[in-house]
Structure 1
Amino acid sequence: MKAKTSLFIRDGLIKTMKGQEFIGSILVEGTQIKALGENLVAPEGAEIIEAHGKLILPGFIDAHCHVGLGEEIYQNEGDDLNEMTDPVTPELRAIDGINPEDEGLRDARLGGVTAVFSTPGSGNVIGGTGVVLKTVGKVVDKMIVREPAGLKVAFGENPKMVYGGEQKKMPMTRMATAALLRQALVDAETYLEKLEQGIEDPEKVPERDLGMESLIRVIKREIPLRAHAHRADDIMTAIRIAKEFNVDLVIEHCTEGHKIAEEIAEYGYPAVVGPSLVNRAKVELKDKSFETPHVLTQAGVKVAIITDHPVTPIEQLPLCAALVARAGMDEEEALKAITINPAEILGVDHRLGSLEVGKDADIVIWSEHPFVLKSRPETVIINGKVITD
């Protein structure tokens, strides 16, 4: 059995993102954090990384992007975001379309983003399941942290534009979008009932349906609906349907969330907010603002800040958080919105999002605070290995 390699990061300013900040060291063994503290001594044979005068943070997490699916450079050949031939496609899986050689993944890790939630696009009412993965690796199966990690659904203008335009089919209206989603969830409830009946009577077992299997995970609250919703009314429709079917929900984009922050907080659903570092390319972005995450946080909503890469380049995630802080959010809260908050929203906080013993050794050493414009990640460590590209 191959011995675990040791890595010792010495004498940096450690921000654990769990409320602790101190000058100290971190011992990494294999892929995990073995120890961290103020008076650690490097074990014999460990590789030493000097971090004196530097800031040590957990790797950043982008809680909503399309990296690997919407490839850079290969904009036609590498465009696997939307299967725009049917508005209801819960059987699709992002893992089957992700290219680990996408330049966006390289940009992510070099920018200090060590994990992402990559999801199908918003062309369909139901687009398929998304996946949490690390931003380094040759084979996507070995990069996975959680799969599936949510079922993408979309409200608003995108499904209307795709199907109500040249195709002249449902959905042409917001009403139809909601109706298609409701029907799919009802069908999943019926399918689940038949499966349960089949335990007692094998003749009642339905024919296998991959789309229904994905939707059942939502019905059983194993994964949430990840609801693309910019406008306040679309956000409330997503909430209405989630409450009707008693399913978990993450509100994606939420660019008008500041208008109904108290209502979102009342229902307890988290929001992944952005992209904000873009122009108003469509009508739904009319009221986008870097103040939105702060308003939502103040109301009690758990918030993550996102790039929606390739809409905003993924390496600019810390810049997006810095601009949110400039717009009023507490600096610590803005850092949480790209570390521990997305980890909790994605259901991977047992492994990612903070510097703690037993968690994955995804660690970034910064020249100074990442919200300072001239700051840069000097050392990026993913799964206990220093990234050299």
Structure 2
Amino acid sequence: MLIYNAEIHTMSDRGVIPCGWIETEDGKIKAMESGAPKDIPDGSINAEGGMLLPGFIDAHTHLGIIEDSLDFEGDDCNESTDPFTPQMRAIDGINPFDRCFEEARSRGITAVASSPGSANACGGEIAAIKTYGRRIDDMLIKSCGIKFALGENPKNVYNGREETPITRMAITALIREGLYKARRYVHDMGSYYSDSENYDPPEYDIKCEALMPLLDRKVKAFFHCHRADDICTALRISKEFGLDPVIIHGTEGQLIADIIAEENVPVICGPLICDRCKPEMRGLELKNASVLHENGVKICICTDHTVIPIQYLPLSAQAAVKGGLDLGEALKTLTIAPAEILGIDETTGSLTEGKDADIQLYRKGANPLDLMSEPVLVMVDGNICRREI
């Protein structure tokens, strides 16, 4: 597939190609250059000067794991029978036939991170997935991290049952206990593999097994936290166990932006276009993303779907622009920045030869973040999912 006469926003070091063409083959970007192509095969698309972008990425959702229009029957987000469940895998609860996948694609969203919820101190494994496909195994990009939650959510869930944890101390203690056990498990496994004659393997522990990649920094630790003190707790735990942390929500990040920047920890900001629906969100302000960015924190914008419907991801970034974020930076928060934060930037997030053909096209003069804008072309892995040109 050849797309020509396009204003290509690569979201890479190449910047903007004011008039160029891009060719895809076998689901990948084969070539991309400025000017006119030498040959224009039948079936090529004339972009007519429109803006060509990488597909948008929502770095924190519950897409497919909380299904549209369903209550308990379609809610597989929280295994709230145990406050510490790292062995739960989002991929095992996602329904790719949920209509919201189509709504995501219609707004140019080609990849998301779908996460277990925040009822538990540890909720499970987050899946980075494409938004096109019928079998989740084929849509999976990678398992990108383990979800933890601090503060109000676990407190509310378990306080009603008069079970642990009902305080921030207990939430953190549970996380610390689980990580210590996993670290000892890794040590005991290492002893067995290095000297099986004198050491027995530890008894199989599915929770410890799930945490091993986290301790090896092969995947990241994603911490749900709104309040500034909870953000600092996430930083403290991460230092203690040598984790690679990411802050989800970070609503009060603006209060400690310099501290977060000093620790070089990214923040997934959102939801933004919602009310202050619980006490931890009383500090919600549109300027949060801008303040974090100005202090040198890597940020991206999320919907937390189903909190905000997935198709309003671009509008959420527009809200951050209203709060002071530069428009160019806002586009990065939906493309290369979430790809880097999720660890999937080798395959998606920018328009670069060899990367997946996750592409969207807007008519000339359109603002991709505007409520009334919709892409006229969307491709996921080279598959045309939407075409109106």
TM class, shorter-length: over 0.9
AA at the equivalent of 2:185: Y
AA at the equivalent of 1:217: P
AA at the equivalent of 1:14: I
In 2, Cα distance between equivalents of 1:25 and 1:45: 13
1:162 corresponds to 2:157: yes
In 1, Cα distance between equivalents of 2:275 and 2:165: 27
In 1, Cα distance between equivalents of 2:179 and 2:265: 19
Where do residues 71-90 of structure 1 align in structure 2 (5 Å cutoff)? 71-90=67-86
Worse-superposed segment, 202-211 or 320-329 = 202-211
| Residue deviations 1:147-175 (CA, integer Å, cap 9, x gap) | x211000001110111122x211111000
AA at the equivalent of 1:370: P
Give the one of 199, 212, 216 matched to 2:208.
Answer: 212
Q: Is this contact kept in 2: 1:12–1:24, CA < 8 A?
A: yes
1:335 corresponds to 2:331: yes
Report the counterpart of residue 98 of structure 1 in structure 2: 94
Give the one of 380, 384, 387 matched to 2:382.
Answer: 384
Query: SS of the counterpart of 2:173?
Result: helix
Q: Is this contact kept in 1: 2:150–2:224, CA < 8 A?
A: yes
| Residue deviations 1:351-373 (CA, integer Å, cap 9, x gap) | 11111111100000012121234
In 1, Cα distance between equivalents of 2:192 and 2:141: 33
Where do residues 1-389 of structure 1 align in structure 2 (5 Å cutoff)? 7-19=1-13, 20-21=15-16, 22-41=18-37, 43=39, 45=41, 47-146=43-142, 148-165=143-160, 167-199=161-193, 200-201=195-196, 203-367=199-363, 368-388=366-386
In 1, Cα distance between equivalents of 2:237 and 2:275: 30
Unaligned stretches of 5+ residues in structure 1: 1-6
Q: Is this contact kept in 1: 2:146–2:220, CA < 8 A?
A: yes
In 1, Cα distance between equivalents of 2:254 and 2:204: 43
In 2, Cα distance between equivalents of 1:330 and 1:36: 27
Q: Is this contact kept in 2: 1:132–1:346, CA < 8 A?
A: yes
AA at the equivalent of 1:12: A
Q: Is this contact kept in 1: 2:2–2:40, CA < 8 A?
A: no
Query: Percent sequence identity over matched residues?
Result: 44
Q: Is this contact kept in 1: 2:19–2:35, CA < 8 A?
A: no
- The count of residues paired between Structure 1 and Structure 2 equals 381
CA 1:143–1:181 in 2, change beyond 3 Å: closer, same or farther?
Answer: same
Q: Is this contact kept in 2: 1:17–1:353, CA < 8 A?
A: yes
In 1, Cα distance between equivalents of 2:371 and 2:329: 18
In 2, Cα distance between equivalents of 1:24 and 1:75: 47
In 1, Cα distance between equivalents of 2:305 and 2:23: 33
Unaligned stretches of 5+ residues in structure 2: none
Alignment root-mean-square deviation, CA: 1.3
In 2, Cα distance between equivalents of 1:226 and 1:124: 13
Cα deviation, residue 327, structure 1: 1.4
| Residue deviations 1:238-266 (CA, integer Å, cap 9, x gap) | 10110111111000000110010000001
| Residue deviations 1:215-236 (CA, integer Å, cap 9, x gap) | 1111111111110000001000
